[in-house]
């Protein structure tokens, strides 16, 4: 091997995973298998446009998804890019704010839902009538 060049010092090796093998299940065992739903979450990306005068924003941990077609509710599991109550995320004038919320999953019969933050003061987050999609990943551009 020769002397390393400046470019080769920054190269890294990547391990390529082996191909997964499929094993057939005998017919007599198929009837005894328990079918379970896979775990999934609902991910909501929010992008607030450029703030002319700056702003402060936060999300209360009580924010949830409320199905409009069933009685289900899904709790917030994770928040990224925005501070939770009681802290504030400050956005300077001319900047935008983007954040991500990850919620528990809703059942398959929940085809529409609201995103609701019920808080003891005015101005709670509310995004009504979100139509469910197959990926359960949603992107919203808000003012």
> Is the model's pLDDT at 5 over the cut of 70?
no
User: Where along the chain do its domains lie?
Assistant: 43-142
> Is the model's pLDDT at 13 over the cut of 50?
no
Mean pLDDT value of segment 40-52 = 91
pTM recorded for the entire structure: 0.72
Take residue 129 and report the two structure tokens written for it.
Answer: 């009538």
> Is the model's pLDDT at 68 over the cut of 80?
yes
* Residue owning tokens 């995973």: 17
Q: Helical H runs in 10-130?
A: 27-30
Work out the number of other CB atoms within 10 angstroms of the CB of residue 140. 12
What does the pLDDT look like over 97-133, one tens digit per residue? 999 999 999 999 999 999 999 999 998 999 999 999 9
The 8-class DSSP code of residue 70 comes to: S
Distance CA 39, CA 13 (A): 32
Max Cα separation, the chain? 68
Distance CA 64, CA 16 (A): 39
What does the pLDDT look like over 18-43, one tens digit per residue? 555 555 666 666 555 554 455 689 99
Mean pLDDT value of segment 1-28 = 51
pLDDT computed for residue 7 by the predictor: 44
Bridging pattern class, strands 112-116 and 97-104: unpaired
Task: Name which residue leads in pLDDT, 109 or 51.
Answer: 109
Helix, coil or strand: residue 7: helix
Distance CA 139, CA 45 (A): 5
Contact between 100 and 43 (Cβ < 8 Å) = yes
């Amino acid at each position: 091997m020769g002397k390393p060049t400046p470019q080769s010092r920054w190269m890294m090796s990547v391990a390529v995973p082996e191909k997964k093998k499929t094993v057939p299940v005998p017919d007599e065992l198929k009837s005894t298998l328990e079918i379970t739903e896979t775990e999934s979450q609902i991910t909501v990306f929010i992008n607030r446009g450029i703030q002319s005068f700056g702003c402060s924003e936060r999300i209360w941990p009580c924010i949830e998804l409320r199905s409009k077609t069933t009685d289900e509710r899904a709790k917030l599991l994770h928040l990224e890019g925005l501070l939770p109550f009681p802290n504030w995320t400050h956005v300077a004038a001319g900047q935008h704010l983007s954040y991500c919320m990850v919620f528990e999953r809703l059942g398959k019969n929940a085809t529409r839902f609201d995103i609701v933050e019920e808080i003891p003061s005015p101005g709670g987050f509310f995004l009504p009538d979100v139509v469910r999609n197959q990926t359960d990943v949603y992107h919203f551009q808000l003012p």
